[in-house]
Every structure is written in structure tokens, then in C-alpha cells.
Amino acid sequence: MRRLLFLNGIRAFEATARSGSFAGAGAELNVSAAAVSRMVHLLEQRLGVALFERKSNRLAMTSAGRAYQSGLTPIFDALASLTAQVTAPSSVRVLTIGVGPTFAMRWLIPRLADFQREQPDIEVRITTGGAAAPFGDDWSCGIKLGDGAWPDLVAEPLFAADLLPVCAPRLAAQLKRPGDLRGPSLLRVAHAAEDWPLWLKAAGAGRVTARGPEFQYYGQTQQAAADGLGVAMGIRPYIDDDLAAGRLIAPFALTVPKGMRWYLVYRDFRTEQRDFAAFRRWVVRAAASPVAPGKSAGKVSR
């Protein structure tokens, strides 16, 4: 039996977590900030867990609050998308694509204008939930990183997930060989601790240990590298557009397979739907080109 605790309080908490304040959540939910505060406080009492630290001039989420919000927001996004599909006029053609937030920002969104030019009558909706998010019932398809083994889903390979270090141009000038890399300057991704050891071993620099700042997502380390904070372990295709534009440089030519691939995943019955078929043809073609339309390929290594 499904046990749901105080849905109004859950909505109030999720809106507060996203907006950063009770006032922002109140404006979204059309209630007062005081009402939102009371609902969140009641939710915390029922859960027996503090979700926020109330400070003098701001709210700060606790670790429990961050974990709760990271799971709730994709659920509410999926619910909104499903509701929109159910209530949309029959003439509206909707395609819902489930992807992780970094993939959406670094690869899919920069290319969507090209798809929309080809299929202007299809309304594209992107829902993000991270690599570990389950395949949503409202998804037309998803793009996931893995081994291709997802029960009840068709998985078509799009491209390999190759690894190579990337950094800002001014930092690249200081790196002549892999041995020049220093542990404190190597930016890390929390869920991909194996990336740096894998590449460093292949480069013959296995004694180097990554000890730099740690981030939750690849996209965050990539931005930190572009801002000169250190060297990130880039993963394709996230880095391709930044390399082409010169925002990032790959100081070494060596690329190492991560041991996974990116896949287009969908349920078998979708092959009979013309909107999905159009997207499937487009994404396979787009995956074959490393650079988004309108970008010019630049020097990526030396």
C-alpha cells in the first residue's frame, strides 16, 4: 500500500527548496509565506527530520533536505509533463525526452533548434532526473549512459563515452606531458571516482592521485575547468562543443574509453509512433556529428 505523507507539505517544501525562500514558494503556490513555513514545519515534524536550517536572513537545506529535494523535483516535473500530455488538445504533438541535467545542457539543448526546424509541429518537452532516474511512464524516450542492459527497454547505441582531460587555454600551456598533472588541481565528479585513475594509468601517470575540488555533475567540473579552477576529466560528448569553441583545451591527445556508451532508450511500442520515429532518425544523425550546428571545429589537443 502506498504511504504518502502530507502532500501539501511536500509541495511546499519542494517549491521552497527550488526558490530558496518561503516567499518565493508562496508566490508560486499562491499562498502566504507564513502558510508555506507552517506546512514545511509540519512536514518536518511528521518526518522526524529537519529539512532546513533557519538562519537569520536565509534558509539552508540540511543534507536530508537536499536528498529529499533531488528526488522530489524530477517527480513533480514528470507529473506536470504527464498532466500536460493528458490535457493537451489531440492536435498537439508532444515528445517527452528524459535525460540527465548535464546531457540536456551540454548536448541536447544546443542541438534542439535543428530538430525543431525539421519538425516544427512537434512540441519537445525535456525532463531531467539524473543518470539514476528510472524510465518515466510519460517519457517518449530517454538518453542514458550505461551498458545497454535496461529491462523492458530497447537500447540503441549513439556514441562512446570517451575520457580525456580538459582545461582552460592558459592552464593548458603549462601541461607538456601527463606527469605535469598535480593531484590538487584535478577536479573530480562525485559519482565518477574511477575516471581519473583510469586515464592516469593509461597515460603512465598512475602515481598521480586526483585530490582537487569535487562536484556533483560533469557539467559543474567542466565549467570550473573553463573558469581556470583546474583540470577536469572530460567525457564525450559533453566537452565537444566547448573544445570546438576554444573555451576548453585538451592538452593531451590520449582518450580512454569509460567502458560505457550513450544509448537512446525507449519502449518497443514507440517505434510505431511517427513523432518518436522522426526524433529517432534525427538524434542518430546528430550523434554522428561531434559538433552542434553552427559551431566550428577547433583544435582540441596538441
Provide the residue-wise pLDDT of the chain in tens; the chain has 302 residues. Answer: 556 678 899 999 999 998 888 998 999 899 999 999 999 999 999 999 999 998 777 888 999 999 998 888 878 877 776 676 666 555 567 889 998 888 998 899 999 999 999 999 999 988 876 555 678 777 889 999 999 898 889 999 999 999 999 999 999 988 999 989 998 999 999 989 999 999 999 999 989 999 999 998 898 999 999 999 999 999 999 999 999 999 999 999 999 999 999 999 998 888 888 899 999 999 999 998 866 665 554 444 44
Same domain, 170 and 269: yes
Same domain, 65 and 165: no
Specify if 269 maps to a domain. yes
Residue 13, CB-side half-sphere exposure with 13 Å CA sphere: 32
Single residue among 73, 104, 130 that ends a domain in this structure:
73
Q: Which residues contact 37 (CB under 8 A, 6 or more apart)?
A: 22
In the chain, the number of structural domains is 2
Q: How far apart are CA 112 and CA 287, in angstroms?
A: 12
Same domain, 256 and 121: yes
Same domain, 147 and 293: yes
State the pairing for strand pair 231-235/186-189.
Answer: parallel
Inter-CA distances, 299 with 49, 212, 240, 243, 248, Å: 51, 26, 11, 7, 10
Same domain, 278 and 130: yes
Q: What is the CATH number of the domain that holds 179?
A: 3.40.190.290
Residue 134: per-residue pLDDT = 73
Q: Which residues contact 175 (CB under 8 A, 6 or more apart)?
A: 167, 181, 231, 251, 252
SS3 25: helix
Same domain, 202 and 283: yes
SS3 213: coil
Give me the chain's average pLDDT, please: 87
Residue 116, CB-side half-sphere exposure with 13 Å CA sphere: 10
Specify if 80 maps to a domain. no
Same domain, 107 and 21: no
Q: In what order do the strands lie in the sheet with 231-235?
A: 122-128, 93-99, 141-146, 256-266, 154-166, 231-235, 186-189, 214-215
Specify if 84 maps to a domain. no
SS3 298: coil
Give the model confidence (pLDDT) of 272-302 as tens digits.
888 999 999 999 999 988 666 655 544 444 4
Helix (H) or strand (E) holding 84: helix 63-87
Q: Using CA atoms in the order 75, 77, 78, 79, what is the torsion angle rounded to 10 degrees?
A: 80
pTM of the model: 0.65
Same domain, 38 and 165: no
Range of the domain at 55: 7-73
